[in-house]
Structure 1
Amino acid sequence: MNKRVLKKTGYLILVIALQMCLPSLVMGDIPSDKTWKLVWGDEFNGTGIDPLKWEVLEEGPNDLGKGWPKGYRRKDNVYLDGKGNAVIRFSRDKHGNLIVGGMKSRVGFLYGYFEARLKLTTQPGWWAAFWLYREGRGANPFLNGLEIDIFEDFFRKSRKQNIVQEALHVGVPSAYAKSFTNITRVDNWDAFHVFGLKWTPLEYIFYIDGVEVLRWGKEQAVTTQPCQVWLSSSTGSVKRANFTGDYRDAVLPDYYVIDYVRVYKKDNGDKKKPSVVITSPVDSGPRSVKEGDSVTIEVSAEDVDGDIREVYLFDNGYLLETRTGPPYRFKVTFNNDYYSKTDYMKPANLRGVTSLLTEHVFVAMAKDNDGLVGFSGPREFYVESTIPSRPYRGRAQSIPGRIELPYFDEGGQGVAYYDTDRKNTGAAKTGFRVNEGVDTNGRGIGWIYDGEWLKYTVDIKQGGRYTVTVPFASPEGGEKGIRLEVDGRFVADIMMKGVTGGWSKWTTVTRRGVVLPSGRHVLTVWIVNGFFNLKYMDFRLEK
């Protein structure tokens, strides 16, 4: 019997043992101080990628920059080799385009031990990764999730060193985005290696070949949302060549070979994790506050079979405060003086918090004497500037009628709008509002990300119920849209689901029964999840 058959047979015995609920099984390179159960995996036997487990990616063309060919992810470059391995290939097609591949799990997982045995890539012009990525399109770790890179191997190409990068990307892109990175040396690069991650509510522990190489925790960031498993590769580009190397130096094809991937869940037996509830403020949906305002958050934490040791309050994934005993009451003030004393404002390796004038999503967590952690549902706030915005060119837009979205108020970043970056990417050809941050060409708004917002001074000629019509364009899936407020009061969510077919192919979404008061007001448009384009909003008074 050959080695491959022995490995597969051993794995089958392990699965049978797990199904019989045998206690205290320690499997492979899983940390030996815990008991775990296999819940998902793929040994990559057979003749094709299992479509029930994986979505194989098909993307492109991607513009890689001047002097570089186009880049694609193609399904043909992801396959099984018949020897128990999945293979992701880096190659060029007959037109000279750069072709890579990738796949992601059909299901997501919240916490666990994630492990893959694989061979790293060697040639410049691309890189491979084993990583976890949020299921939702938004950036908030308590509403959508985050990104955990168990490894990326691009530094082998640029630094000519046998090192991989681990990373934790939080809130990207948003006003609270941070990226934590680390590099680890890998000996015997061309051999198979086992990469693992133990992910708990408060900790991320990285392993290579069974040895712990990195530990991050609640001092970096946490999430309460599941992530999908990704095995993928990406091409380099003109901008990325400084860390991926140049494809013209590559000997192709090159291969990313994966022997197996497995996901385990911790078995806590009869032990119960704490029950955690934010009792005040009550969950009444998102609410707006002004910069400098305070809110008191009260938490109830109970443990039926143990003692509560610590209760934590997090905002957008970052730790604000810790309590070791009741009452679990936290007073949060939305200003730099308060936040500068917390982990929220602590710097990371890359990126960093740029503004408090954005969404703030609070979650409480509690840890008991067994080390088990429970968490609450979210509470959402939007923080606005105390400085008033001004109508665009001194003229308020009118309702009933059409609100042209590129004509947002004047006042700049944090007053009239919040944009993830400070450059108007859409103004390159038209020069429209070129010195402001909103990405607009004067006809529409693009490059829209979760947590951004815009303000419009409006004259509402008659109060009453309105039908609001909004065109959206997006090739990205999932639910996304806008939230409307008038003078800081919530009035409506206008959401779309699925894709429209492209960034310039439009689908109209209609919301009826939107109640508006008469007179001059400030209408705020909050972006929910992002990754779409906008043009205008039509308001029609209902009879």
Structure 2
Amino acid sequence: MPARRLAAALTALATTLVLAVGCGATDAEPPPRPRPVPQDWNLTFSDEFDGSELDTDRWATCYDWNDDGCTNSGNDEKQWYLPGQVSVGDGRLRLSAQRRSTRGSDDRTYPWRSGMISTGRDDWYGEPRHVFTYGYFEASVRIPAQEGMFPAFWMMPASKFTPPELDIMEFFERTDRVMMYVHWRSPEGDQRARGMFGPVPFPERHHVFAMLWTSDEVSWYVDGVRRFRVTEPERIPHVPMEILINLAVGVPRSPPAPVDSAVMTVDWVRVWQQ
């Protein structure tokens, strides 16, 4: 082969390899690991997001206090959740945050609008779609890289009141450190236990965040590896809970001025139970 043609072929091969490595680094699934699920447990709930729209038999697009949208005022969040910020396509769920002034039904104006899903109710007086007491909960999630976002995968009681609360994953302030919490109420008041794992460049691809919840323990996993565990009896909840996945904005601080949008994607959600 002439030297010029050989050089061109080598350049093309090198370009192909760089592209292949780049694609794998940014959005590849983590290597599979055995799930820490008891052998006699079964898959009782799942969504692979393979359709073209959200399955509303499985999911609501707000909290149980939905009134033409919603927010979590307890965190002083900067977004108003709306169903238009939730979409499904190409095998994934997308929760989109936009810097767009939005008037909430609470007569407040929010600088952002965003999306969330929940297995709960359409409004305060309805029945939740799905509730769970114990299980192994997992989701493949890619968080946004933008500052000021507060993505979370968590569980709250079907009673609509917390604590208890189980936070399978939360990110705030830093995108390279995942936070894991259990909230419970002691005789002295609301308490919580916290675990964390990092630093990892989480926004570069999807990661599997999971939690094993039994009557004796709560354990958190990142890509199949246990990173935090709680076994103290007073900290373990024993009440039915809903699953929530949301992209909140502005906790603990608002996004900087150049940031005007962000997207959180979910490849799948699965629940295993006895």
| TM-score interval (norm. to shorter) | 0.7 to 0.9
The structure that is strand-richer by fraction is 1
2:103 is equivalent to residue 85 of structure 1: no
**Larger relative contact order, structure 1 or 2 (CA cutoff 8 Å, min sep 6):** 2
Provide the C-alpha distance between the structure 2 equivalents of 1:39 and 1:216, rounded to a whole number of angstroms.
Answer: 24
Task: Pick the aligned partner of 1:98 from 108, 112, 120.
Answer: 112
From the superposition, tell whether residues 204 and 219 of structure 1 become closer, same or farther in structure 2 (CA, over 3 Å).
Answer: same
Provide the C-alpha distance between the structure 2 equivalents of 1:52 and 1:181, rounded to a whole number of angstroms.
Answer: 33
Q: Which amino acid aligns with 2:190?
A: A
Provide the C-alpha distance between the structure 2 equivalents of 1:60 and 1:150, rounded to a whole number of angstroms.
Answer: 20
Provide the C-alpha distance between the structure 2 equivalents of 1:182 and 1:152, rounded to a whole number of angstroms.
Answer: 11
Q: Which amino acid aligns with 2:59?
A: W
Q: Which residue of 1 aligns with 2:169?
A: 151
Task: Pick the aligned partner of 1:178 from 178, 191, 197.
Answer: 191
2:139 is equivalent to residue 116 of structure 1: yes
2:210 is equivalent to residue 199 of structure 1: no
Q: By how many angstroms is 1:114 displaced?
A: 0.4
* Mapped contact 2:148–2:173 kept (Cα < 8 A): no
Q: Which residue of 1 aligns with 2:15?
A: none
Q: By how many angstroms is 1:193 displaced?
A: 0.6
Q: Which runs of 5+ in 1 are unaligned?
A: 1-26, 141-145, 267-543
Provide the C-alpha distance between the structure 2 equivalents of 1:63 and 1:148, rounded to a whole number of angstroms.
Answer: 17
* Mapped contact 2:48–2:91 kept (Cα < 8 A): yes
From the superposition, tell whether residues 62 and 220 of structure 1 become closer, same or farther in structure 2 (CA, over 3 Å).
Answer: closer
The structure that is helix-richer by fraction is 2
* Mapped contact 2:168–2:211 kept (Cα < 8 A): yes
Count of residue pairs brought into register by the alignment? 220
* Mapped contact 2:154–2:245 kept (Cα < 8 A): yes
Q: Which amino acid aligns with 1:208?
A: V
> Tell me, what secondary structure is at the counterpart of 1:76?
helix
Q: Which runs of 5+ in 2 are unaligned?
A: 1-31, 63-68, 103-109, 120-128
Task: Pick the aligned partner of 1:134 from 157, 161, 166.
Answer: 157
Q: Which stretch has the larger CA shift, 162-171 or 28-37?
A: 28-37
Q: Which residue of 1 aligns with 2:79?
A: 71
Provide the C-alpha distance between the structure 1 equivalents of 2:258 and 2:165, rounded to a whole number of angstroms.
Answer: 29
2:63 is equivalent to residue 47 of structure 1: no
From the superposition, tell whether residues 63 and 198 of structure 1 become closer, same or farther in structure 2 (CA, over 3 Å).
Answer: closer
Provide the C-alpha distance between the structure 2 equivalents of 1:92 and 1:110, rounded to a whole number of angstroms.
Answer: 37
Identity %: 25
Provide the C-alpha distance between the structure 2 equivalents of 1:214 and 1:250, rounded to a whole number of angstroms.
Answer: 35
Cα root mean square deviation, aligned: 2.7
> Tell me, what secondary structure is at the counterpart of 1:93?
strand
Provide the C-alpha distance between the structure 2 equivalents of 1:64 and 1:206, rounded to a whole number of angstroms.
Answer: 23
Q: Which residue of 1 aligns with 2:227?
A: 213
Deviations 1:489-515 (A, max 9, x none): xxxxxxxxxxxxxxxxxxxxxxxxxxx
From the superposition, tell whether residues 64 and 52 of structure 1 become closer, same or farther in structure 2 (CA, over 3 Å).
Answer: closer
Provide the C-alpha distance between the structure 1 equivalents of 2:33 and 2:182, rounded to a whole number of angstroms.
Answer: 25
Provide the C-alpha distance between the structure 2 equivalents of 1:193 and 1:186, rounded to a whole number of angstroms.
Answer: 14
* Mapped contact 1:36–1:265 kept (Cα < 8 A): yes
From the superposition, tell whether residues 62 and 109 of structure 1 become closer, same or farther in structure 2 (CA, over 3 Å).
Answer: closer
From the superposition, tell whether residues 249 and 163 of structure 1 become closer, same or farther in structure 2 (CA, over 3 Å).
Answer: farther
* Mapped contact 1:124–1:250 kept (Cα < 8 A): no
* Mapped contact 2:148–2:256 kept (Cα < 8 A): yes
Q: Which amino acid aligns with 1:260?
A: W
**TM superposition score normalised by structure 2:** 0.72
